[in-house]
Amino acid sequence: MQFVVGALAVAVVALLVVVIVIARRISADPGIGKNDDRQSLIDEKVDALLLAQQQLAGQVKAVSDTQVQTTKAITDTVAQSQSELTKQVNERLDKVNTAVGTTLTDSAEKTAKSLGNLTARLEAIDKAQQNIVGLADEVVSLKHVLDNNPARGAFGEVQLKDLVEEMLPPFAYSHQQKLENGKIVDCLIELPDPPGPIAVDAKFPLAAYKAMIDADDRAIKETAKKQLTIDTRKHVRDIADKYVGQSIDGFRSTSQSALMFIPSEAVYAELHAHHPAVIEDCHKYKVYLVSPTTLMATLTTVRAILRDVEMREQASVIQDMVGDLLVDVGRLSIRVDNLDKHFDAAVKDVNQIKISAGKIQDRGERIESLELDEPDEIGSGGQGALPLT
């Protein structure tokens, strides 16, 4: 629109230039001699110029009005578009705010829940750490216990006592049993002859094993390993001398074998895997190594043996009871026979009763069907008279 207005302005200026040029040509034209004609021609040109100016002004005004209307329409369109755009932007912003708010709320809830779970897990970890600390203290305490020989023996005795009392009945064992040689066996398992009561010793050579495990140097480890073999073989011989084939109370003797209880599966496995001399001495002196696992299997076998012995002891009682039962069965048979005879007699009596009842019924029916004569004919020996027999 501004381009159109500028073009009109240029046209007006050009028209003025044309008028000036025409006026100069008229002034310079020799054919025009009179001033009146010249003035008249100038007036006509001026009038034409004014008319053209007016037309140009009208066109400019029309163009200006058109420009105003167009500008107003554009402004209204832009304003309406801006309003709609603002409305859409506001709606989208509201949706975005709502979505963001919901997302933030959900995120806050999830974060709070995660923090709660994390707190609970941290509490559990803290509790577990406290338990680990307590367990470590107990392990240290156990280590100190096992470092001391008397305490180590007491630890083995407690574990042995728990296993035996769990697997066997009270009459099948005794703890701290004193023998006639003055030695006290940790546990004596009461088995019938043969093999007789079996002694169980609860001590074990842990010091050398511990030194072997803790050693970092290979030479020190080998030295401790050899010492473990020496200590264990010596302990096997001591058990054989103290508890194998020894008198208990003058009437009974211990079995020709004994058990050395090792309350550590690791020590038991080490001896069997890497100390063949110890195993050879065990077979030689009949002192057999048992761990908690193998002792449970041994005690299970002992329990089965005790059950079998008890059943054999009760066999005579069972036979006597079976004999008495057979006598009672014979008496019952006799009484059944007598009862059968009574039943036969009762059947005969019932049959006789049925016969008598049938006769009575027949006579009753005959009496019922009898036609009586007149009174003067009674006793005349009529044919309807009934026999008296």
**pLDDT given at position 32:** 46
Query: Using CA atoms, how far apart are residues 377 and 345, in angstroms rounded to an integer?
Result: 48
| CA dihedral for 127, 133, 137, 142, sign (positive or negative) | positive
**pLDDT given at position 220:** 87
Which residue bears the tokens 């009763």? 353
Residue type, 106: D
Q: Are 229 and 212 in contact (CB under 8 A)?
A: no
Please list the pLDDT of the chain residue by residue as tens digits (389 residues). Answer: 555 556 556 666 666 666 666 666 655 555 544 566 766 776 777 677 777 777 777 777 777 778 778 878 888 888 888 888 888 888 888 888 888 878 888 887 888 888 888 888 888 887 887 778 666 555 544 454 444 455 555 667 888 888 888 888 888 888 888 888 888 888 888 888 778 888 888 887 778 888 888 888 888 888 888 888 898 889 899 888 888 888 888 788 888 888 988 888 888 888 888 888 888 989 998 988 888 888 888 888 888 888 887 787 777 778 888 888 888 888 888 888 888 888 888 888 888 888 888 888 888 888 878 755 555 544 444 444 444 44
Instruction: Tell me the HSE value of 223 on the side-chain side, using a 13 A CA sphere.
Output: 8
Query: Using CA atoms, how far apart are residues 284 and 30, in angstroms rounded to an integer?
Result: 168
* Domain extent listing, the chain: 2-112, 152-318
Query: Using CA atoms, how far apart are residues 49 and 364, in angstroms rounded to an integer?
Result: 174
**pLDDT given at position 386:** 47
**pLDDT given at position 58:** 74
pTM: 0.45
**pLDDT given at position 14:** 67
**pLDDT given at position 59:** 74
Q: Which two tokens stand for residue 309?
A: 């012995």
DSSP reduced 3-state for 174: strand
